[in-house]
Amino acid sequence: MRMTVLASGSKGNSTVIASPNTTILVDAGLSCRELLKRMKAAGENPSTLSAILITHEHQDHVTGLAVLARKLGIPVYFTEPTHRAWVRSLTPRTTMTYAQWLDKNQKEKEVRAAEVAAQVAKDPDAASVTVSSSWVTAQPGGASIDLAASADPGLIGPDADLDSEEALCDDTTTARRDPTALPAVEYFQAGANFSIGDISVTAFTIPHDAADPCGFVFESQGEHIRMAIATDLGYVPPNVKAALRRVDVLLLESNHDLDMLKDGPYPWSVKQRVLSRVGHLSNRAAAEFLSRDYDGGAAYIVLGHLSEQNNDPSLALLAAREAVDDRMSLLGNKIVLAEQAAPLSPITL
Ligand SMILES: [Zn+2]
Ligand SMILES: [Zn+2]
């Protein structure tokens, strides 16, 4: 069995898990192009991917998801609440404030009045000039709309947002034009087991500020090697401790150094979010888990989702090394740091 961390951190997360017969991508938090580039660099073949599995809908886990899934024609596994939240995040907002609605109404009236005036004039050339000049004044900053371009929802620019719904509505047939269209969607439930090819997957709930976030344990059915991913969690609750028993490779979050975060540049509200019970795991919390709850049986511990602002890789490494301490050996408990900017070499057991 093999784990290849393609990227880990707040700018994008993605990991390949492979048995001899099945290859899964867990999260797709980089652009499609970058994911393919990194797979190639790490010696992973994208055409062998059977599925993409999503931990939660945060941007750093789904950026390249739709494009990659469509490009490869493979199913995407979500929990239902995560899928719904992801769809919502990609669907243009249709609600507006009352003031915006009045404004939009007024502009529509102006357009209609201009059309009527043009009809009265019965001069086709004058009509098109009147309508388009009323459009131009309706745009903030006087930007004009290229009507031919706005017929394609994929090309709608920020200037056209008041009318993007309409443009989207006249395109319901082409899947390519729906940003949430996927070749296939499979639902799993947090806390349940399911299989993808010959890999058994156990999804466990993690405490994080997303719709229905999950970590995973993967087990190859023939070899009984277990590999786990547990990042994006505010603390390590009992169900996560239980799920992480007897794993051979553990990708564990070691997000921030508490002092660096407290003294760092983040606004207070963001610091609060990171520190909260549904935020991210600190070096200290990861070390506490490793010293108190972890059974010491993993060949590799991969520290991941390190903050570039609020952590120093050497601090994360030191905390984890001290925690595992006497259990480190040539055979087991090798500690590796996952990176944001480059893929790790595949870990094969
Ligand atoms: Zn997250
Ligand atoms: Zn994340």
Instruction: Quote the CA–CA distance of 201 and 104 in Å, as a whole number.
Output: 50
Q: What is the CA(341)–ligand 2 centre distance, in A?
A: 15
Last residue of a domain, one of 132, 162, 177: 177
pLDDT at 327 over 90: no
Q: What is the CA(158)–ligand 1 centre distance, in A?
A: 27
Give mean pLDDT, residues 42-68: 97
Give me the pLDDT at residue 330, please.
63
Give me the pLDDT at residue 134, please.
30
Number of structural domains in the chain: 2
Ligand nearest to the CA of 210: 1
The answer on 143 and 68 residing in a single domain is no
Q: Judge contact between 57 and 35, C-beta under 8 A.
A: no
Give mean pLDDT, residues 228-254: 98
The answer on 64 and 151 residing in a single domain is no
The answer on 236 and 137 residing in a single domain is no
pLDDT at 343 over 80: yes
Q: What is the CA(231)–ligand 2 centre distance, in A?
A: 7
Give mean pLDDT, residues 191-220: 97
Instruction: Quote the CA–CA distance of 138 and 131 in Å, as a whole number.
Output: 11
Mean pLDDT value across the chain: 85
Give me the pLDDT at residue 15, please.
98
Q: What is the CA(9)–ligand 2 centre distance, in A?
A: 6
pLDDT at 285 over 90: yes
Q: What is the CA(13)–ligand 2 centre distance, in A?
A: 7
Domain that holds residue 63: 2-89+181-348
Q: What is the CA(336)–ligand 1 centre distance, in A?
A: 21
Ligand nearest to the CA of 56: 1
Contacts of 264 (CB under 8 A, 6+ apart): 271, 309, 310
The answer on 113 and 65 residing in a single domain is no
Confidence of residue 166 (pLDDT cuts 50, 70, 90): very low
The answer on 329 and 277 residing in a single domain is yes
Give mean pLDDT, residues 306-314: 97
Whichever domain contains 278, its CATH number is 3.60.15.10
Q: What is the CA(327)–ligand 1 centre distance, in A?
A: 31
Ligand nearest to the CA of 29: 2
The answer on 135 and 195 residing in a single domain is no
Q: Which residue has the higher pLDDT, 330 or 226?
A: 226
The answer on 236 and 168 residing in a single domain is no
The answer on 232 and 344 residing in a single domain is yes
From the list 239, 241, 261, the residue with the least C-alpha distance to 250 is 241
Q: What is the CA(209)–ligand 1 centre distance, in A?
A: 7
Q: Any idea of the CA torsion for 77, 348, 338, 278, to the nearest 10 degrees? A: 40
Q: What is the CA(309)–ligand 2 centre distance, in A?
A: 14
Q: What is the CA(97)–ligand 1 centre distance, in A?
A: 29
